[in-house]
Amino acid sequence: KQWYQRRVAITAGGQFRHLCSRASIQTGHIKISVSRSSVFEDSFNQILNIPPTDLKRRLFISFRGEEGLDYGGLAREWFFLLSHEMLNPMYCLFEYASKNNYSLQINPASYINPHHLTYFKFVGRIIALALFHNKYIDKGFTLPFYKRILDKPLTMLDLKSVDEDFYNSLKWVKENDLVECDLELYFAHEFEVLGEVKIHELKPGGEDIMVTEENKEEYVNMMVSWRFTRGVEEQFKAFLEGFNEIVPIQWLQYFDERELELILVGIQDFDIQDWQAHTIYRNYRRTDKQIQWFWTFVAEISDEQRSRLLQFVTGTCRLPIGGFSELMGSNGAQKFCIERVGKENWLPRSHTCFNRLDLPPYRSYDVLKDKLLFAIEETEGFGQE
């Protein structure tokens, strides 16, 4: 099933990429200079002051205080770092769907920031830019959020993944006779935002309209609709405004919600055999002990560490829908590459624009392991070009 979803997404993605390619401006580029320590605010202040049409030119990203030309790798890293920051629930723009679901949804309490709607317009632009320029973001949204972007109807079943308690309560209402259970419900619902209890009427005069067996289907449908829009209508409208400035919503007609998630976030699982099959070597042979040790290292570390390794070498921890065979570099398709460079006391280096890892000829597995772990876990910007 997962393989089929990826194949369908690849086909839909090809049609979408064609539209983006036709709309892209081939002349000139847009330079964006940010600091790693303030990537959110720096990007916010620049992106909203650039005409949307100009953002369809090639993006040229630079990190202040760091040398390096952006042939694509820095742009990938910028999208990753920026999305990690702007979607952080700490900023109160987004929140986790539930205690055990770390997908993101709009936070109804975002209004505590008086400029929150401008920020949502900015987020909409960035998400659309990631799609337009074929880059990935760090975190994913809930599937119902993607359905809202696609303007697809939401159902009660969509609630299950984001609010199981709410889903179960509505399911109980549907399956039980309210009269026999002596339960009084009205077309109104209490909810709490920042400690303040509010009452929302599902229809005019809803506080005085009792739910009966005859109208409870209407009640359930209204509750589902309200649950996904409560307190977030203006924020979502601002998000779509920014999004539409870069990517018209009708361009997404080829996707369903799962395909849209794949094209934006990429796949997150690692097939090590696929990784090996689509890796090339320079000044190394596949049979060299350092290469054998490298793959032993990859097999032994955790998925989180594999993500960091991939990010260190390519600029992003996400994979294209087609896996390692579809990694992109500065000049199009570019396989993961390991090159023999340096001396044993050197740390590994990476060239994110070319998906290349400079791996010195270490004399033992333990040294290779220690050096790689230090490179991927203790460095930021260092050792990357």
Catalytic site positions: 353
Q: Length of the chain, please?
A: 385
DSSP 56-78: GSEEEEEETT-----SSHHHHHH
For residue 164, the SS3 value is helix
Q: For residue 315, which of 82, 42, 31 has the smallest C-alpha distance?
A: 82
Q: Which amino acid is at 103?
A: S
Residue 180: CB atoms within 10 Å: 8
CA dihedral (253, 148, 234, 79) positive or negative: negative
List Cβ neighbours of 200 (8 Å cut-off, separation of 6 or more). Answer: 188, 189, 190, 191, 226, 230
Contact 102, 119 (CB under 8 A): no
Compute the distance between CA of residue 5 and CA of residue 2 in angstroms, rounded to an integer. 5
